Amino acid sequence: MADEFAKGFGILTGGGLVWMVLSGWYTTPGFEDTQLLGKIPGNLDTYGQFAIMLREVMFWFTVLGVVTFWVVLPALEELREASS
């Protein structure tokens, strides 16, 4: 079970870091404004649009990865042990 926790924690820290960096670059208009969750600018070039797409992918990768390794896989292991 420790390896599932470590994998989930790695996904949480790695994916969360990438999401926070991209959010800081693209959705933080100023220090006094809304940070990390601000409005996405409309005049982005191709790389900016790719970064916003990567930001959304990393958010869902982080959420689903953590839920998978911390909830789903341990629950399946418990069900397998209970049915044996």
**Per residue in 33-81, pLDDT tens?**
788 888 898 999 999 999 999 999 999 999 999 999 999 999 999 999 9
- pLDDT at residue number 72: 96
Integer Rg of the chain from CA: 17
pLDDT for 29 beyond 90: no
Q: Which residue has the higher pLDDT, 27 or 30?
A: 27
Identify the pLDDT of residue 56. Answer: 96
Average pLDDT score over residue span 18-33: 89
| 42/67 Cα distance (integer angstroms) | 32
Are 67 and 11 within 8 A, CB to CB?
no
pTM of the predicted model as reported, rounded to 2 decimal places: 0.86
